[in-house]
Amino acid sequence: MRASAIGQRDGFGLTAAERDRLETHARRAVRRARRRGEGLASITVALDRKVDPVAVIAASRRPDEPWFALEQPDADAFALAALGCVRPIEGAGSGRFGQAADAWRSLVSEAAADDADGPRGSGPVAVGGFAFSPHGAASADWQGFAAASLHVPEIAIARRGEEVRLTVCVLARPDDDPAALAGRAAERVRDLVDAPLPLLDPSPVEPARVASAMPPEHYVAAVQRAVDVIREGGLEKIVLAREVLVRAGAPHDAAAVLGVLREAFPGCFVFAVGRGEKAFVAASPELLVRREGQRASTLALAGTTRRSADPAVDDHLGEQLLRSAKDRGEQAIVARRIEQTLRPHAVWVAAADEPVVVRMANVQHLATPIRAQLRHPIGAVQLAGALHPTPAVGGEPFAVAQPLIPALEGFDRGWYAGPVGWTDAHEDGEFCVALRCALLDDRDARCYAGVGVVADSDPQAELAETEAKLGALLPVLSA
């Protein structure tokens, strides 16, 4: 890859040599399109290390233009942010992960692109997510978010440590003019804006109103019904979620929310997926899968308690969590299922002997890191499909829990608890589980939080746990 530092110039823009390179790639893509109907072309260039990928994409997006941002500040400042869509990849039903993986593999297999270089997420990528259920996100609230929906962005910026790369993509059709394709893409790069993320309004004229979509009593009753079913036999665990609506005095600003979340939750996967006027935002603690070559890694996360400002009390709460038979049992169910799912695809699977306590800003969890050496090439999207949903967000066995979840919850989860992330030209990538999340639509924000219900769950305690988890986003959205 021939890299040049855009961020050191006066604004953004491709050099004449870079535009010529993109045109050359576009010419190859047109030839492929004449054989196969479409062809992908891209170039990747270096940016100044001070460029903030998420801030640039948030400031540069146009009305109704799809956008994507995911970062984990504590993970070597990793960030991947993207703008526009040259090719949507969508699907539905039980085969939606396979459909998406096949479509991406077909498109990128003959892409005319620079040699891979730079941080993870450099080069052509597909970004987006999947609904929790095979036919989920069907309600009007989730319009624009298909059950499987990846976008190949026009512009993507990846960062890790002090390495920053910008990739620009074009999609060629049989009769396209390569020079025109390259010219339009160069204009879009030139229009990028380097500006900080906006701030939340500290003094809104009209205060936000918070209300459960259903009364808390409904949730308590649902948990009790789940406990009864579990005690009857045939079901070990089921995860039940609540939906809480926040109506603000002015439209929610997804970029401003992102800015607060990444400061408050640097260890989490902080993301936004913008579709039309809506944006799905989160600060999720849970990695579903990361694929790097023949290595896969994931995290079994289950069991929760609150945090305390007093360090001694905080440590005591963590110790209680480690000693809780209920939480240890719930956590073991998740770890066991993940290991069983990975084994057919792996030479070996390794998990920690004991869970550890991981601390977020507002809660503590039990976590077991799990790694695997893959036996055969299997891409990040297919791995996500194999692992989703883990018992941390679904149930065990899931075949029994699956019909009970919507019946007891009473709403469409949409992308809540589904995989959100990205994959690259080598089918490496990373997907997190969409937790501690909210769907923003003008003045409305629909927040989601769930808990694992087992035989000895206390419904009132489970309600209190959802309140603790909602504490990640409610203070930001209702300020």
Catalytic residue set: 237, 286
What is the Cα–Cα distance from 408 to 194, expressed in whole angstroms?
A: 46
Amino acid at 469: K
Report strand pairing: 87-91 vs 148-152.
antiparallel
Structure tokens at 443: 């003045």
- Strand pairing of 287-292 and 346-351? unpaired
Q: How far apart are the first and last CA of the chain?
A: 46
Q: Are 388 and 396 in contact (CB under 8 A)?
A: no
Rounded Cα–Cα distance for residues 194 and 157 (Å) = 12
The string of DSSP letters for 38-64 reads -EEEEEEEE--TT--HHHHHHHHPPTT
Q: Is 149 left (phi over 0), alpha (psi -120 to 50) or beta?
A: beta
Is the sign of the CA dihedral 169, 423, 417, 464 positive or negative?
Answer: negative
Take residue 246 and report the two structure tokens written for it. 């926040």
* DSSP reduced 3-state for 131: coil
Q: Which residues pair with 274 in a beta bridge?
A: 67, 279
Residue bearing tokens 């919507």: 406
Determine the Cα–Cα distance for residues 393 and 237; give it in Å rounded to an integer.
10
What value, to the nearest 5°, has the Cα angle with vertex 260 and ends 256 and 266? 135
